[in-house]
Amino acid sequence: MTNDNTPLRDDGIDRLLSIMARLRDPATGCPWDIQQTFATIAPYTLEEAYEVADAINRQDWDDLRLELGDLLFQTVYHAQMAAEAGHFTFADVVAAISDKMVARHPHVFGTESRDKTADQQTRDWEAQKARERGAARTLDGIALALPALTRAVKLQNRAARVGFDWPTTGEVLDKLTEEAREVVEARDTLSHTELTEEVGDLLFVMANLARHLKVDPEAALRAASQKFTRRFARIEDWLAETGKTPADSDLEEMDHLWNRAKAEEKAAKG
């Protein structure tokens, strides 16, 4: 049963805000919700964002509806805690993003011409962001909590805007070969810490190569992981037909089945 503080037939944001406030009520709320902090909720916020991306990738629109609700709830949760601490309110969050969108789209809400390409609008967007950052350093403001590959690309894009970038993909490939050679040379001579640094350099150049090829490295790696999962499942299926598990098999047999799975997928694609 709910009390009169929670709208019953209102499916708008006011109902959600009211529910969140009741969950955090020190006297009558949920003990778990009451004890949460920004730090403890942040991992859930990241998780919900990934689940939104996953639903989009699967083109599961009903699931996307639910996941977007979960992500919205995370915003409401943080805003409620901020209001309790006297930092800001949900209305302040809405006002800030509304003001930002208006300011960054003068070709829609202002007097600038809309006769621009998407690329030009992207450059204008970044220029406006730079003006907002003011005297901040070029790479300031790129969140540390981003996935490593995504953050690498954002850092590289930001540096490229001020001219710090290889002009051609060929030069990135040359650097990739150099970094791979350094990893090979280092694996038997360097400490684990130094080897980790070399592998990090190699991954950073891989992200740069993806950027030059206009490939999202996170999406590419997710797709590769899904492909690996799918093919390994086929290996397990075929082994099960003979009463075996991967632990009962060996690399030679599983590699043969892997190639069979690849051939099967290729044939299915026509």
Using one digit for the tens of pLDDT, what is the confidence trace for 35-76?
999 999 999 998 999 899 889 988 999 999 999 999 999 999
Q: Is residue 86 a part of any domain in this protein?
A: yes
pLDDT for 123 equals: 75
Contact 88, 79 (CB under 8 A): yes
The answer on 249 and 210 residing in a single domain is no
pLDDT for 10 equals: 65
Share the mean pLDDT of the chain. 90
pLDDT for 2 equals: 44
Please tell me the distance from the alpha carbon of residue 158 to that of residue 230, in angstroms, as a whole number.
36
End position of a domain, from candidates 54, 85, 102: 102
Of 34-48, 64-78, 108-122, 143-157, minimum mean pLDDT range? 108-122
Burial class (CB in 10 A: 0-12, 13-18, 19+), 172: buried
The answer on 242 and 205 residing in a single domain is no
pLDDT at residue 1 greater than cutoff 50: no
Of 107-116, 195-204, 214-223, 247-256, minimum mean pLDDT range? 107-116
Range of the domain at 241: 219-269
pLDDT for 135 equals: 57
Q: Is residue 201 a part of any domain in this protein?
A: yes
Q: Between residues 18 and 3, which one has the greater pLDDT?
A: 18
Q: How confident is the model at residue 115 (pLDDT cuts 50, 70, 90)?
A: confident
Sign of CA dihedral 28, 30, 36, 38: negative
Burial class (CB in 10 A: 0-12, 13-18, 19+), 108: exposed
The answer on 157 and 228 residing in a single domain is no
The residue behind tokens 């598990």 is 245
For 268, the token pair is: 């299915």
pTM: 0.66
The answer on 209 and 228 residing in a single domain is no
Q: How many domains does the chain have?
A: 3
Please tell me the distance from the alpha carbon of residue 204 to that of residue 210, in angstroms, as a whole number.
10
Q: Is residue 1 a part of any domain in this protein?
A: no
The answer on 240 and 202 residing in a single domain is no
The answer on 224 and 196 residing in a single domain is no
pLDDT for 209 equals: 96
Q: Which helix (H) or strand (E) holds 160?
A: helix 148-160
Please tell me the distance from the alpha carbon of residue 123 to that of residue 20, in angstroms, as a whole number.
39
For 80, the token pair is: 């409620």
The answer on 205 and 159 residing in a single domain is yes
Q: How confident is the model at residue 86 (pLDDT cuts 50, 70, 90)?
A: very high
Q: Is residue 142 a part of any domain in this protein?
A: yes
End position of a domain, from candidates 193, 215, 237: 215
Contact 17, 76 (CB under 8 A): yes
Residue type at 11 in one-letter notation: D
End position of a domain, from candidates 194, 215, 236: 215
The answer on 90 and 34 residing in a single domain is yes
CATH code for the domain of 161:
1.10.287.1080
The answer on 241 and 200 residing in a single domain is no
Q: Which helix (H) or strand (E) holds 238?
A: helix 217-241
pLDDT for 133 equals: 67
Q: Is residue 126 a part of any domain in this protein?
A: no
Q: What is the rounded average pLDDT of the residues 211-232?
A: 93
Please tell me the distance from the alpha carbon of residue 113 to that of residue 107, in angstroms, as a whole number.
5
List all residues 6 or more positions away from 6 whose beta carbon is below 8 Å from its beta carbon.
15, 18, 19, 22
Q: Is residue 65 a part of any domain in this protein?
A: yes
Q: Is residue 64 a part of any domain in this protein?
A: yes
Phi-psi region of 7 (alpha: psi -120 to 50; beta: other; left: phi over 0): beta
Q: What is the rounded average pLDDT of the residues 120-149?
A: 79
The answer on 142 and 188 residing in a single domain is yes
pLDDT at residue 16 greater than cutoff 90: yes
Q: Is residue 168 a part of any domain in this protein?
A: yes
The answer on 181 and 168 residing in a single domain is yes
